Amino acid sequence: MHPPMGPPPGAALDKLKEPRPEKIKDIPKYLKKLLSKFFFRLLYIFRLVWETKPWILFAMTFLAVLSGILPVLQAYAGSYLLNALASSYTKSVSSGIPDTVGWSNIVFLLTLQFLCIFAISFTNNINSLITRISGELVANHVRTKIMGKSKELDIESFDKPDFYAKLENATREADHRPIQIINSVFTLISTVITVCSYFAVLSQVKPVWASVLVIILSIPGAVVSFIYRKKNFRYMRHRSKDRRMLSYFSNIVTDKDLAKEIRIFGLSDLFTERYKEVFARYFRGLKSLFIKEGAWNISLSLVSSAANCILFLIIGKQVFEGKIEIGNYSLYTGALTSVAAGIATFISTTATVYEGTLFIDNLITFMNEKKKIKPSLKEGRIPERHKGHRIEFINVSFSYPGTKRKVIDNICCVIEPGDTVVLVGLNGAGKTTLIKLLTRLYDPTEGKILLDGHDIKEYDTKRLYDIYGIIFQDFGKYAVSVKENITFGQADKKADDEEIMLAAEKSSAAQFISHLPKAYETPLMRFFEEDGIELSIGQWQKLSIARAFYSDSDILILDEPTASLDAIAEQEIYNRFDELRQDKTTVFVSHRLSSATVADKILVLEQGRLIEQGNHKELMEKQGRYYELFSTQAKRYMEI
Ligand code: ADP
């Protein structure tokens, strides 16, 4: 059975190291480093969007400039309109007749103001449309990139908890973050344009210090937002394990494969309780962050509102004293509010961009995960094909990454071309691990494995994988048609119906396939198709064996793929395999020793060590461990 999805709890956190300066003189260096990191990440995001579609960047630049200019134009149009209205009002009242000359001016300014309002709303709508479309496109691009990278990664990476942290962080954040950051960067550009234009307006406000004060007062709020963005990021990163636990527990309860066990053992409530406990812990910290930020924001906005009120009074008094026109009151107060809001937006958006770039680091770290399984030669060797291969294990030892225990301990043996080899041993003896080493899913920690006289590390990895046809214990069950499930044994070959049927015949799958509603075209599993068929585990196993027969490989490996078949069916399959394998080297792992009788060579493993090797007859005569295991099993069958 597949292991339950999701990362194991207790996974390590990915570390983003940004050591703080210890001395004051180190600060410039620290800031330089911080800035260069920031720009590096920003550039990475721009590149992601550019790779998706270059037009996104052009469209957003154009809209940012427009969004920067339009509010100022609107404010000017509004203030001129107010002045024109006030002046026409005075003229009409003093002369007793309507000011017809002023009216056309009023209509013009009103139209201009509404044109600006319309243009602003149009720009905003187009902007959000582009953001939504490009958001999907960029997310898709990033997801495809992550899928491409995952495909390239060594199996070893999947054993490391911090790999899951990186993967989780990268997939969770990286698909929506890039467009959010790009959007914020363009908001920054338009804000800068607006603020600069309003500065020109504000320079006319007297006294100058009053405007400066309001502007300065807008800064602390923004700084608070900056600080809390960083705190938020730190918290999220620190709590990465909690979030992975949350998704692990919720997935367990909703997982299809586990649904039976969860119900029978009544595990649902237990996992729901654990989910709630972790959530409570996770939420406690988050809530405290939200409340503290909220309290800061409320206090600071009180202070800046009071200052604004005083300044508005000062400007209002100037209108009252006839020093400035009523339109200018609206222009100046509007400019003040806009500049203060603009500065706040500028700083908080910078904070959002900064926070976003930190999250993007997860994606960058994930994408930079290094591949270790690659050819040791510059030009990887190409294995000869469609022939027997000689395999030699020379003092091979292995410990899984991050562990010290040798699960394979100093193994030496030779597999001659065309041999049938059976690996025998109790659970945990190291049989599957030996297969993983043979197929170069992992590299030995000591010793080497030769293929036709050369270290397997020297071969081109893809070409090396081509020579193996392998069915693992936890073989894949794919929600596609029966036919495709077989052709996945050699996905790069054009599907050939005759060969597919032949492979199914060989694996004894043909019989049940012929009874399926659409035979080879029957969709399997019920994830997507209403008429999808669920197979029994034994049927899946036969299908996976058909996959091995279909594959155009030189070395066939079956790692207990017959565990769910009865002893007779298993023996039948091994016999057929032996008969039909056409001189291919075959390696079986089986816990039923009856299958070992067909082998040219039996390798008996115990706690990672090769304790006996030979054929059935030799090992039985030796009366060692194999004899013991075989006799125990035979006795059990005799009793049945
Ligand atoms: P067998 O196939 O003989 O049952 P395995 O080769 O699967 O045994 O496992 C050998 C030992 O390696 C076991 O003790 C198992 O717990 C350990 N092991 C297997 N896979 C991993 C892994 N990915 N990380 C760490 N230890 C592992």
On the question of pLDDT at 359 being above 60, the answer is yes
Task: Give the residue-averaged pLDDT of 516-544.
Answer: 86
Residue 253 or residue 396, greater confidence? 396
Tokens 């020379």 belong to which residue? Answer: 394
Residue 448, φ and ψ in degrees, nearest 5:
-150, 165
Structural domain harbouring 224: 33-367
Write out the DSSP string of 554-591: SEEEEESTTTTS-HHHHHHHHHHHHHHSTT-EEEEE-S
Cis bond before residue 417 (omega within 30° of 0): no
Q: What is the pLDDT of residue 492?
A: 80
pLDDT, tens digit, 9 for 90 and up, residues 80-94 = 998 889 888 888 888
Question: Looking at ligand 1, which residue's alpha carbon is closest to its atom 21?
Answer: 400
Tokens 């222009």 belong to which residue? Answer: 331
Q: Does 383 map to a domain?
A: no
**CA pair distance 600, 419, nearest whole angstrom:** 6
Do 276 and 406 fall within a single domain? no
Question: Looking at ligand 1, which residue's alpha carbon is closest to its atom 16?
Answer: 428
Question: Looking at ligand 1, which residue's alpha carbon is closest to its atom 24?
Answer: 400
Give the C-alpha distances (Å, rounded to integers) separating 186 from 126, 230, 535.
14, 21, 53
On the question of pLDDT at 247 being above 80, the answer is yes
* Closest ligand 1 atom to 605 CA: 3
* Closest ligand 1 atom to 430 CA: 6
Domain boundary among 304, 332, 367: 367
Question: Looking at ligand 1, which residue's alpha carbon is closest to its atom 15?
Answer: 428
Q: What is the pLDDT of residue 136?
A: 92
Identify the band that residue 400 occupies on the pLDDT scale cut at 50, 70 and 90: very high
- List all residues 6 or more positions away from 109 whose beta carbon is below 8 Å from its beta carbon: 77, 80, 81, 84
**CA pair distance 115, 316, nearest whole angstrom:** 28
Q: 428 CA distance to ligand 1 centroid (A)?
A: 6
Q: What is the pLDDT of residue 134?
A: 93
* Count of other CB atoms within 10 angstroms of residue 106: 16
* Closest ligand 1 atom to 403 CA: 25
Report CA 446 to chain centroid distance, whole Å.
33
Q: Does 477 map to a domain?
A: no
Q: What is the pLDDT of residue 484?
A: 92
Give the C-alpha distances (Å, rounded to integers) separating 161 from 274, 278, 407, 481.
20, 19, 20, 34
Q: 430 CA distance to ligand 1 centroid (A)?
A: 6
Share in percent of the chain as helix, strand, coil (round to 5): 65, 10, 25
Q: 567 CA distance to ligand 1 centroid (A)?
A: 25
Identify the band that residue 9 occupies on the pLDDT scale cut at 50, 70 and 90: very low
Question: Looking at ligand 1, which residue's alpha carbon is closest to its atom 25?
Answer: 400
Tokens 């586990």 belong to which residue? Answer: 258
Task: Give the residue-averaged pLDDT of 141-162.
Answer: 83
- Return the closest-CA partner of residue 630 out of 619, 639, 640: 619
* Count of other CB atoms within 10 angstroms of residue 2: 11
pLDDT, tens digit, 9 for 90 and up, residues 281-298 = 999 999 999 999 999 989
pLDDT, tens digit, 9 for 90 and up, residues 218-237 = 778 778 887 888 788 888 87
Do 395 and 363 fall within a single domain? no
Instruction: Provide the domain count of the chain.
Output: 2
Question: Looking at ligand 1, which residue's alpha carbon is closest to its atom 12?
Answer: 407
Do 295 and 182 fall within a single domain? yes
* Closest ligand 1 atom to 560 CA: 2
On the question of pLDDT at 637 being above 60, the answer is no
Do 124 and 59 fall within a single domain? yes
* Closest ligand 1 atom to 436 CA: 6
Q: 407 CA distance to ligand 1 centroid (A)?
A: 7
Q: Does 22 map to a domain?
A: no
Task: Give the residue-averaged pLDDT of 375-403.
Answer: 91
Q: What is the pLDDT of residue 559?
A: 85
pLDDT, tens digit, 9 for 90 and up, residues 560-597 = 766 666 666 676 677 767 666 667 888 988 777 777 78
Side chain identity, residue 611: I
**CA pair distance 190, 46, nearest whole angstrom:** 17
Q: 541 CA distance to ligand 1 centroid (A)?
A: 22
On the question of pLDDT at 358 being above 50, the answer is yes
Identify the band that residue 14 occupies on the pLDDT scale cut at 50, 70 and 90: very low
Q: What is the pLDDT of residue 350?
A: 85
Identify the band that residue 12 occupies on the pLDDT scale cut at 50, 70 and 90: very low
Q: 262 CA distance to ligand 1 centroid (A)?
A: 25
Q: What is the pLDDT of residue 18?
A: 53
Do 397 and 298 fall within a single domain? no
* Closest ligand 1 atom to 423 CA: 3
On the question of pLDDT at 390 being above 60, the answer is yes
On the question of pLDDT at 2 being above 60, the answer is no
Q: 108 CA distance to ligand 1 centroid (A)?
A: 81
Q: 590 CA distance to ligand 1 centroid (A)?
A: 15
Q: 434 CA distance to ligand 1 centroid (A)?
A: 10
Question: Looking at ligand 1, which residue's alpha carbon is closest to its atom 22?
Answer: 400
Cα dihedral: 275, 281, 284, 286 (round 10)? -80
* Count of other CB atoms within 10 angstroms of residue 551: 22
Q: Does 456 map to a domain?
A: yes
Q: 155 CA distance to ligand 1 centroid (A)?
A: 14
Q: Lowest-pLDDT range, 239-243, 372-376, 415-419? A: 239-243
Q: Does 149 map to a domain?
A: yes
Residue to mutate (ligand 1; options 422, 433, 590; most atoms within 8 A of CB): 433
Q: What is the pLDDT of residue 444?
A: 95
* Closest ligand 1 atom to 435 CA: 6
Do 423 and 331 fall within a single domain? no
Do 411 and 274 fall within a single domain? no
Do 303 and 412 fall within a single domain? no
Q: 366 CA distance to ligand 1 centroid (A)?
A: 26
Helices (H) and strands (E) in the chain, counts: 19, 10
Question: Looking at ligand 1, which residue's alpha carbon is closest to its atom 8?
Answer: 428
| Contact criterion met (CB below 8 Å) for 444 and 156 | no
Q: 231 CA distance to ligand 1 centroid (A)?
A: 40
Task: Give the residue-averaged pLDDT of 13-19.
Answer: 47
Q: 423 CA distance to ligand 1 centroid (A)?
A: 15
Q: Which helix (H) or strand (E) holds 396?
A: strand 391-398
Question: Looking at ligand 1, which residue's alpha carbon is closest to its atom 19?
Answer: 433
Tokens 């008996």 belong to which residue? Answer: 604
Residue to mutate (ligand 1; options 160, 163, 403, 407; most atoms within 8 A of CB): 407
| Contact criterion met (CB below 8 Å) for 627 and 619 | yes
Averaging pLDDT over each range in 8-22, 28-42, 48-62, 557-571, which range is the top one? Answer: 48-62
Q: Domain holding 319: CATH number?
A: 1.20.1560.10
**CA pair distance 241, 331, nearest whole angstrom:** 52
**CA pair distance 130, 186, nearest whole angstrom:** 13
Q: What is the pLDDT of residue 580?
A: 65
Task: Give the residue-averaged pLDDT of 317-327.
Answer: 86
Q: What is the pLDDT of residue 567?
A: 67
Q: 433 CA distance to ligand 1 centroid (A)?
A: 6
Q: What is the pLDDT of residue 47?
A: 94
Side chain identity, residue 68: G
* Closest ligand 1 atom to 426 CA: 3
Do 352 and 278 fall within a single domain? yes
Mean pLDDT for the chain overall: 85
| Contact criterion met (CB below 8 Å) for 155 and 195 | no
Q: Domain holding 397: CATH number?
A: 3.40.50.300
Domain boundary among 329, 352, 367: 367
Task: Give the residue-averaged pLDDT of 33-44.
Answer: 89
> Which residues lie with the beta carbon below 6 Å from any ligand 1 atom?
159, 400, 403, 407, 425, 427-433
Task: Give the residue-averaged pLDDT of 517-546.
Answer: 86
Burial of residue 27, with CB atoms counted within 10 A of its CB: 0-12 exposed, 13-18 middle, 19 or more buried? exposed
Q: What is the pLDDT of residue 165?
A: 73
Do 158 and 239 fall within a single domain? yes
Task: Give the residue-averaged pLDDT of 17-44.
Answer: 80
Q: Lowest-pLDDT range, 168-177, 271-280, 463-472, 576-585? A: 576-585
Task: Give the residue-averaged pLDDT of 498-518.
Answer: 90
Task: Give the residue-averaged pLDDT of 473-486.
Answer: 88
The pLDDT > 90 percentage for the chain reads: 33
* Closest ligand 1 atom to 608 CA: 10
Write out the DSSP string of 182-228: HHHHHHHHHHHHHHHHHHHHHTTSSSHHHHHHHHHHHHHHHHHHHHH
Do 359 and 426 fall within a single domain? no
pLDDT, tens digit, 9 for 90 and up, residues 177-219 = 888 899 999 999 999 999 888 888 877 777 777 778 777 887 7
Q: What is the pLDDT of residue 262?
A: 81
Residue to mutate (ligand 1; options 432, 445, 587, 629; most atoms within 8 A of CB): 432
Q: 235 CA distance to ligand 1 centroid (A)?
A: 35
* Closest ligand 1 atom to 159 CA: 23
Q: Does 547 map to a domain?
A: no
Q: Does 525 map to a domain?
A: no
Domain boundary among 367, 383, 414: 367
Identify the band that residue 439 occupies on the pLDDT scale cut at 50, 70 and 90: very high
Q: Does 28 map to a domain?
A: no
Burial of residue 633, with CB atoms counted within 10 A of its CB: 0-12 exposed, 13-18 middle, 19 or more buried? middle
Q: What is the pLDDT of residue 1?
A: 36
Q: What is the pLDDT of residue 37?
A: 87
| Contact criterion met (CB below 8 Å) for 545 and 507 | yes
Question: Looking at ligand 1, which residue's alpha carbon is closest to its atom 7?
Answer: 432
Task: Give the residue-averaged pLDDT of 415-435.
Answer: 90
Do 287 and 418 fall within a single domain? no
Q: What is the pLDDT of residue 138?
A: 92
Q: 93 CA distance to ligand 1 centroid (A)?
A: 96
* Closest ligand 1 atom to 434 CA: 6
Dmax (CA) of the chain: 130
Question: Looking at ligand 1, which residue's alpha carbon is closest to its atom 5?
Answer: 430
Q: 255 CA distance to ligand 1 centroid (A)?
A: 25
The pLDDT > 70 percentage for the chain reads: 92
